[in-house]
Amino acid sequence: MITIYGIPNCDTVQKAIKWLNANNLQFQFHNYREAGIDKQTLMKWLQHFPINKLVNTRSTTYKDLSDEEKQCIDNKDAAIAVMMQYNSVIKRPVWDMGDGRFFLGWDEKELAKLLLR
């Protein structure tokens, strides 16, 4: 089953959920603002996405980080610690297709290729 990770008030996450519902695709939503995000999940994501893609450097949360926190984003362990502490710095949504495939962000055409066969 598809798991979509994000926060419910994110416009992009809302688009993704609306699209999933419109295409009658079953999914579960993981609200990491409320439920948090664990190190194991972040490590799995970093096997599929580079740190500089998973960390949304255009986000308000990123911009509010200290210079020291921003500089440590290049280090995998430090980046994981920052994402666990400030989970809204994670680019949204993160898609876990449930079959070993992952997707980051929103691209309707690419998602249709992946999920609508």
Spell out the domain ranges in the chain. Answer: 2-115
Structure tokens, 4: 């979509």
Structural contact between residues 1 and 24, judged by C-beta atoms closer than 8 angstroms? no
What's the pLDDT at 3? 98
CATH number of 2-115: 3.40.30.10
**pTM metric for this prediction:** 0.92
The catalytic residue among 3, 7, 10, 101 is: 10
Active-site annotation holds for 72: no
* Residue 74 to residue 52: CA distance in whole angstroms: 8
User: On the CB side of 24, how many CA atoms lie within 13 Å of its CA?
Assistant: 1
> pLDDT band at 117, cuts 50/70/90?
confident
Give the residue-averaged pLDDT of 45-49: 96
Start-end of H helices in 1-117: 11-22, 32-35, 39-46, 51-54, 60-64, 67-71, 76-85, 108-115
